[in-house]
Amino acid sequence: MSYDLIAIGASWGGLLAVGTLLEGISTELEQPIVIAQHRSAESTRGALESLLQRHTKRPVCEPHDKDSIEASHVYVAPPDYHLLVEGGRFALSIEGRVQFARPSIDVLFESVAEAYRDRAIAIVLTGANEDGAAGLAAIKRNGGVGIVQDPRTAAKKAMPEAAIAASQADAVLPLEEIGQFLYGLCCL
Amino acid sequence: MPAGHLERGEELELEQLEVELLLEGIFRRYGFDFREYAPASLKRRLRRRMDGEHVETVSALQDLILHDPAVMERLLLDLSVNVTAMFRDPTFYLAFRQKVVPLLRTYPFSRLWVAGCSTGEEVYSLAILLAEEDLSDRVRVYATDINQAVIDVARLGVFPIEKMQEYTQNYIRAGGSHSFSEYYVARYDGARFARSLVDGVVFAQHNLASDAAFNEFNVVTCRNVMIYFAQPLQEHVHRLFYESLAMFGVLALGQKETIRFSPHESSFEELDAEERMYRKVR
């Protein structure tokens, strides 16, 4: 079994968590990594990209509408847009907030579930809301792999707990072990 | 094959077929062409309408839509209402003041087209900006959308009162030179913006997918509208804008849109790369 895309959802406490997670992902993994991190609509342009770039050698960028999805890249959803994937490309939307969030993790995950089905991996990290739970359930329903940060190790545990409650996750792990788990899925 | 036991993959293929049939049906029955919309967000909106109409399948939705124009109208709202904000991306409006306004001053009269105006937030933002630059009488604004219902909302100029704090901050960051509250009156139904702002605005229904160019413009803004289109339709609309722009006219796109996908990319030069403003030079 091989996988074509890794999607990550994070909210409160996510910046640190995503950074740690990226550090633990082997350079051998070539799957594109797509991140929906909740943040304010007014957040400074490019700030999240450069913060995350410190944690990985892969190029980190905010995709433009209809950009093609490239191997070994890290993509972060732009502030105040929903990020979706379709047919190897990104699509953006400014439809209403979902679970008070834009970007919404559910919107990203549901589009990944549909486009990548059993070739998708989705990871829910720390957060103080329930975004990502419905999305992770969609990933699982379509045959993909669902990973959740162990709530006991999360800065805010509501979001990983909601994800665990909504679907049968394939793994519930502390951040430091997720990279190894991904390596096992993708490289062994 | 036993009914009700489709594999998940088959279910998704089947749903894809149902969506294509629905869009074909809508086009032939009502003339609205969503066949080249970007699929991911289109499907989200279809599912929302399915929930709203309490149906389980796209085929059941199709049945309702083909037989009941009221359901079609509700779907049209789902597909065309975009949640935008006044002075969304304040730096865009700042750049507009600094780079587009001086160009507009060189013309005794000019035309600006807001393509895909939705409920009008951007129209009022630009109208305020033009008024403050003393250009209201010299710039005719045309605001169009595929959906008559949202145009009616835009014409009314009433926006949610609870948004005014956010809009005021945007307005200030956008270089606004007055007090934002001068432009509206708080009423029971929301913040009602001054009629005079849009007295000269021509609101009209126009379908970017199927209607032709209808005038020559010095500025076309189409921000976060084409993101809902698949690439062939984006190219079509880019051709329409190219044909609609006067020489040295300005095309303004959304923050995350790029002119790379325009077949006329080489006919434009950057006016402000960061704010996605391009100028037609050939």
- Let me know the angle formed at the C-alpha of B181 by B175 and B183, rounded to the nearest 5 degrees: 85
Helices and strands (DSSP H and E) totals, chain A? 6, 9
Q: What is the pLDDT of residues A138-169, one digit of tens each?
A: 999 999 999 999 999 999 999 999 999 999 99
CA distance linking residue B264 with residue B282, whole number of Å: 9
User: Is residue B256 less than 8 Å (CB to CB) from chain A?
Assistant: yes
ipTM: 0.90
- pLDDT of res. A52: 95
What is residue B145's three-state secondary structure? strand
Size of interface A-B (CB pairs under 8 A): 67
Residue in A151, A120, A154 with CA at minimum distance from that of residue A137: A120
Is A55 labeled as catalytic in the residue annotation? no
- CA dihedral (B145, B147, B149, B155) in degrees, to 10, reads 10
Cβ count near B133 (within 10 Å): 18
The answer to whether residue A117 scores a pLDDT higher than 60 is yes
Q: pLDDT for A26-45, tens place per residue? A: 999 999 999 999 998 777 77
Please pick, among A4, A38, A73, A104, the residue that the annotation labels catalytic: A38
Q: Does A63 touch chain B (CB under 8 A)?
A: yes
**CA B217, CA A107: separation in Å to the nearest integer?**
36
Query: For chain A, what are the domain ranges?
Result: 5-187
Identify the architecture of domain A5-187 in CATH: 3-Layer(aba) Sandwich (3.40)
The residue from A55, A73, A111, A131 that is catalytic is A131
- Residue A68's SS3 state is strand
**Beta-sheet pairing, B217-222 with B110-115:** parallel
Task: Give the model's pLDDT for residue A87.
Answer: 84
pLDDT given for residue B2 in this prediction: 45
Helix A105-116 with A133-141: angle, nearest 10 deg: 10
pLDDT number for residue B84: 83
Say whether domain B90-280 belongs to CATH 3.40.50.150. yes
Domain ranges of chain B: 8-80, 90-280
Is A11 catalytic? The answer is yes
- Is the Cβ pair B256, A111 closer than 8 Å? no
Q: How far is CA A16 from CA A12, A131, A168, B77, in A?
A: 10, 18, 26, 40
Q: What is the pLDDT of residues A49-107, one digit of tens each?
A: 999 999 999 999 999 999 999 999 999 999 999 999 998 999 999 988 888 889 999 99
**Over 90: is that where the pLDDT of A176 sits?**
yes
Under an 8 A CB cutoff, do A94 and B12 touch?
A: no
pTM attached to this predicted model = 0.93
Q: Does any CB of chain A come closer than 8 Å to the CB of residue B45? A: yes
The answer to whether A66 contacts B231, with C-beta atoms less than 8 Å apart, is: yes
The Cα A27–Cα A59 span in angstroms is 12
Residue type, B132: E
Q: How far is A167 from chain B (nearest CA, A)?
A: 16
Regions of chain B short of the pLDDT cut 50? 1-3
Residues 87-106 of A with CB under 8 A from B: 87, 91-97
